[in-house]
Structure 1
Amino acid sequence: MAPQTLPVLIAGAGPTGLVAALTLRQNGIPVRIIDKVPEPPFGSRGAGIQPRTLEVYKLLGVLPDILKHGTPTPPFHIYNYPEGKEIIKEFFLSPRSYPTPGMPFYNPMLLGQDIACGILRSHLSKYDCHVEFGSELRALEQHDDHVVAHIVRAGGPNGSEETFSASYVIGSDGARGAVRKLLGLQFDGVTRDDAGIILGDLRATNLPRDCWAGWGPNGKPIFSVLPRYSHDDDTFWVTLMAFDKDVDYDRLVRHPEEFKAVVQKITGRPDIEILEFLSLAFIRFNIRMVKEFQRGRVFVAGDAAHVHSPAGGQGLNSSVMDAFNLAWKISLVHKGAASPTLFASYTAERAPVIEKMLKLSTETLDKTVGNDDDGWKRGTRFYQLDTNYRGSPIALEGRGEDVPAPPANMYTFGDLGRVRAGDRAPDAPNLLDLKDPAAAGLARFYDLFTPTKHTVLIFSDRAAAADEVVSALGGYPAGLVQSVAVLPAMTSVREGLVLPKADFVVKDTDRHAYEGYSADHTKAEPTVAVVRPDSFVGATGRGVATVKEYFSRIFA
């Protein structure tokens, strides 16, 4: 093996790689993360953060900083054409709604990807892990027990070459990155010749800051601007839809003065002055994905595994879900707590979800290209709150009922019904901590869930029944499983009450936990739900037998 060795090498330091690195470091796994760009890129791409991603950020401890810098989606104003000053239509791409007990984050946020990545890097630095910019992965050699990576670092006339050994490699280096190509993975799909987009950040005067503004013929926004609220008042994110085959959009990017002229024509606003281009790029839409997310000890995630149009704002969010799904599995396998066969669930779980996501985003793109007003409508279908892994080889539905087939579209929001194994784990607020009466305020499940452990929820009003489950957990690796005994709302906390021996004992004061997990405290065996480190339900069932059967699929 090469002399420099770490458990995991991550190639690509966008949101995908950073979430993977942060999750692994929180699990105590040393990580090296590299990126070929010389410095952190500037730009707003991937600005939409969906509710499910906000939940992941909470679990990783970065949510307060995301909320501090992010903003809700403002109203969208379409201006008249060609004068460009009168508002002819106002709507919300994602109408504001109210959270529910099981879904605490129910509205998307907007935050430029450059700011979001900066936040993730700052949290990663707390674990003594820093992105090595200007380092490019050029080649990989897989062996039975390690991977050798050939890395070229910027500097000098030819740079400096390095050979590095890692137990595993994660390719999060984007659609044009090296890892997928080095693995020989087919990137099946199509390139759309009828649609593309120019994305950029710029400084300009006389643009509105109280809305997301759009201009275009027939009330269809071809050019739009969104204020970058995290920057100076003259800074905006702009998009120009590339639908006209007679326009050379590559030339517009190469010649910003011509881009300015197009903006003047579309908006009819000579008073809008573009002062400076901060970023500008033309993107031709590709709709592609790999069939395998893993080859040997090397994995692909995010844009390295799937690309699509930005319609619906799913790219960054799907990429974060890839990383969060994969990282806890690598952690367990590297620690020797799980068999490498656990990795098979990565492709099995993520590939069907991504396939549905590509279909959803492409349908939205087609409506946008076809000037269908529905192409601008968003909402719960895009929130990823009911993305599920039902049917996963490691999911266990053990409550005795026949497990239904996955929903027709496992990627979009529908009637959740009873929580099944493979579903996102619902939250439950207003939980009274009975083991620590001095604890300030009320807890919620998403305060207890953690990316470093499985959480076994035990629903019972009998301490002895709950303790049987807790005792069964003693046979699993220390520090990788935690227990939460959930007492029903009608429990009266009296002096001398014997509490279960779980790590946490809470009272479900508002019944949200029991209702959210369809639990019944009257049964002889307690209802149990095993929540994975990525806050998906790994198993549901009753008593010790469910716990043992599920963990037999996870731990070696």
Structure 2
Amino acid sequence: MAPQAHPVLVVGAGPTGLIAALTLRHNGIPVRILEKADKPFTGSRALGTHPRTFEVYKFLGVLPDILRLGTPVPDNRIYKCPPEGTELAKELKNLGRGYPTPGMPFYNMWVLGQDVTQRVLRTHLEKHGVRVEFGTELRAFAQHADRVEAHIVKPGEGPNGAEETFTASYLVGADGARGVVRKALGLQFAGVTREDATAVLGDVRVRGVSRDHWNRWMKGNVPALSLLPRYTHDPDVFGIIAFGLDATRDYARFVEDTDAFKQYVREVTGRPEIEITEFLGLSYVKFNIRMVSEFGKGRVFIAGDAAHVHSPTGGQGMNSSIMDAFNLAWKLTLAHKNLAAPGLLASYTAERLPVIKNMLTMTTEVLDKALANKEGAWERGARFFQLDVHYRGSAITLEDDPEREGAPDPPVNVYTFGTMGRVRAGDRAPDAPHLLDLRKGSVGTLFDVLTPAKHTVLVFTQGNSAADNVLGALRAYPAAHVQSVVIMPAFASVREDAELPGAGWVLKDADRHAYEGYSVDHATTGHEAVVVVVRPDGFVGAIGRGAGSVQAYFAKILC
């Protein structure tokens, strides 16, 4: 069937909406993206970028700009608050320092303000011919069997501006917790509002504080104030957070009464030389812990804060929201082109719901530890990096390899780091460096080959005949959405005339990282190839043997 004629409409131009739109454009899908605010967001919210998000940025081609502008998390200086004193209590590396491995090339959290991240994503989206329409609001929509009719209001003459009815193939609501899309779908936002935890956050110009560290003041083990340098801004600009954990204070009034906020800073730090000279933005937030029970209905889907909100403990909000968008976009691509098998779009809710549920549990546990004044409650580690988030057991994954039958069952908690064993269907696909391109003679990594526009079929084999069997089966699938990569073991001596013309790539695993990373024994790949299918979102869709496994997997994906 021909692709659907109408664009995908994305509502909301935060990181979630921008990643959805950018991924769709990488796939050649027409996109329109709206933002109710009349200008780009400014401020340092969502400062933390985790390693799995770096991988998404790598696939989308934005990583060099993110790395150029961002910085590793600075060392922490934690000071006592009066009356306990004003001296330095301790210095620590908030996350410690991790070291990359061949399979995990990014292994440290970085700092970059949400405003800068969004600017980078907008710039890349504009390279694909799409500009965010600021000051443009979705008021309502109506679903039909083959389209979505959206009522849009843009800036213009008259009390309601310029009204428009726009036809979209699908609608993605990335318009935040107070947005229109979730409410119009009638989805319940179940959960609680924590009255015992609030925060005042924003950006300020301040003098008298070091720019070389993340400066924090704590009462016991409970945080009171945080000043984090904005390295992308002027030297005196800091992101500020006042943690509203003291029930005797009215933190909400600080937003309007900035003199009172200055007095709070003097009181908490006990250091008169620290002076806020200008407020660049300030807001009061309550900690909500809420999520929906489904991430969409019909042709309308929600992602990010529109679907789930939580306390900021752990810095999971932006990162998990980006994963929502990246999971959804490749599925919408196939649906838009009328290539999606029945049930593919339903897998968006099925895969993301348990991940988000466990994320809310984890961040709430950390918040409760902080409120209970427990030691180490605000220290972070690799469990927050999202590298072990997985979709094991998803209806659209396939595991058909007898060599893996003895591997442990999927862990109950799909969000906890360190529980994974051998690579299974549904796991994050590991990288592998030092792969020799036998056609070009160049050396690269597996992540250089993966793309958000295609399934990548990794064919681990020693010989041409085993590879030809799989490559022949792949000819039945659209080349625009499926690519093949033959990976030969390190010990293979490859004849110059062994071209494998049916393969997109022919690589040699020079340092054995690919075979080890994907748990493939080179001795078992002589007569029948081991096949690993990596989805466009960088997760393993299938692991199996020969052409039959490939055909069984794509029966779940393509119609």
On whether the aligned pair clears a TM of 0.5, the verdict is yes
Report the counterpart of residue 59 of structure 2 in structure 1: 59
CA contact (8 A) 2:454 2:536 kept: yes
Distance 2:160 2:551 in 1: 56
Deviating beyond 6 angstroms after TM superposition, the runs of 4 or more aligned structure 1 residues are: none
The structural deviation recorded for 1:69 is 0.4
The answer for the alignment partner of 1:521 in structure 2 is: 522
Question: What is the Cα deviation at residue 158 of structure 1?
Answer: 2.7
Counterparts of 2:340 and 2:281, CA distance in 1: 45
Shift of 1:339: 3.2
1:403-422 to structure 2, matched below 5 A, reads 404-422=408-426
Q: Matches of 2:496 and 2:252 in 1, distance apart?
A: 75
- 1:458-497 matches, cutoff 5 A: 458-497=459-498
For each residue in 1:355-383, what CA deviation from the matched residue of structure 2 results, as whole angstroms up to 9, or x when unmatched? 00000110111111112122111111000
The alignment's TM-score, normalised by the length of structure 1, stands at 0.97
Equivalent positions of 1:117-128 (< 5 A) are: 117-128=118-129
Kept after mapping to 2: 8 A contact 1:454/1:481: yes
Structure 1 match to 2:429:
425
* 2:194 pairs with one of 164, 168, 192: 192
1:275, distance to aligned residue in structure 2 (A) = 1.1
Cα distance between partner residues in 2 of 1:552 and 1:450 = 21
| Contact 1:78/1:219 (8 A) holds in 2 | no
Q: Mind listing any 5+ residue stretches in structure 2 that lack a counterpart?
A: none
In the alignment, is residue 132 of structure 1 matched against residue 124 of structure 2? no
Specify the alignment match of 1:176 in structure 2.
Answer: 178
How many matched pairs? 550
Residues 306-325 of structure 1: per-residue CA shift (max 9 Å, x gap): 00001001000000000000
- Structure 1 residue 80, shift from structure 2 partner: 2.7
- Tell me how far apart the structure 2 counterparts of residues 485 and 326 of structure 1 sit (CA, whole Å): 28
Partner residue, 2:162: 160
The 2-side partners of 1:527 and 1:102 are apart by 19
2 CA distance for matches of 1:56 and 1:500? 30
Q: Distance in 1 between matches of 2:471 and 2:409?
A: 32
Task: Report deviation, 1:402.
Answer: 6.1
User: Which residue of the partner structure matches residue 543 of structure 1?
Assistant: 546
Equivalent residues of 1:423, 1:537 under 8 A apart? yes
Q: 2:11 corresponds to which residue?
A: 11
Structure 2 Cα separation of the partners of residues 478 and 502 of structure 1:
11
For the 8 Å contact 2:213–2:228, the answer to whether it is kept is: yes
Q: Is the 8 A contact 1:467 1:500 kept in 2?
A: no
Q: Does 1:389 align with 2:385?
A: no
CA drift at 1:537: 0.2
Q: 5 Å matches for 1:30-429?
A: 30-82=30-82, 86-156=87-157, 157-218=159-220, 220-400=222-402, 401=405, 404-429=408-433
Contact 2:388 2:420 in 1 (8 A): yes
Q: Once the two structures are superposed, what CA deviation does each residue of 1:270-326 show, in whole Å capped at 9, x if it has no partner?
A: 111111111111110110000110111000000000000010010000000000000
The TM-score normalised by the length of structure 2 is 0.96
Determine if contact 1:197/1:239 at 8 Å carries over to the other structure.
Answer: yes
Task: Please list the CA deviations of residues 500-538 of structure 1 after superposition, one character each: whole Å capped at 9, or x if unmatched.
Answer: 631101110111100111112333211110000001000
C-alpha distance in structure 2 between counterparts of 1:217 and 1:462, whole Å? 65
Across the aligned residues of Structure 1 and Structure 2, the Cα RMSD in angstroms comes to 1.5
Q: What's the CA shift for 1:498?
A: 5.2
- Give 1:479's aligned amino acid: A
Instruction: Among all aligned residue pairs of Structure 1 and Structure 2, give the percentage whose two residues are the same amino acid.
Output: 59
Contact 1:464 1:500 in 2 (8 A): no
Instruction: Tell me which moved more, 5-14 or 362-371.
Output: 5-14
Match of 1:541, as an amino acid? Answer: G
Higher mean C-alpha displacement, 394-403 vs 284-293: 394-403
Which secondary structure does the structure 1 equivalent of 2:523 belong to?
coil
Tell me which amino acid in the other structure corresponds to 1:40. P
With 484-493 and 344-353 compared, the bigger mean Cα shift is at 484-493
The one-letter amino acid paired with 2:515 is Y
Compute the displacement of 1:338 (Å). Answer: 1.3
Which region of structure 1 is more displaced relative to structure 2, 79-88 or 65-74? 79-88
Q: CA shift at 1:134, angstroms?
A: 0.4
8 Å contact from structure 1 (residues 199, 239) kept in 2: yes
Q: Give the aligned residue type for 1:227.
A: P
The whole-number CA distance in structure 1 between the counterparts of 2:376 and 2:76 is 14
Cα offset for 1:219?
5.8
Deviations, residues 90-117 of structure 1 (Å, cap 9, x unaligned): 1122111110000000001110000000
Q: Distance in 2 between matches of 1:522 and 1:396?
A: 23
Q: Which runs of 5+ in 1 are unaligned?
A: none
Cα distance in 2 for residues equivalent to 1:501 and 1:473: 9
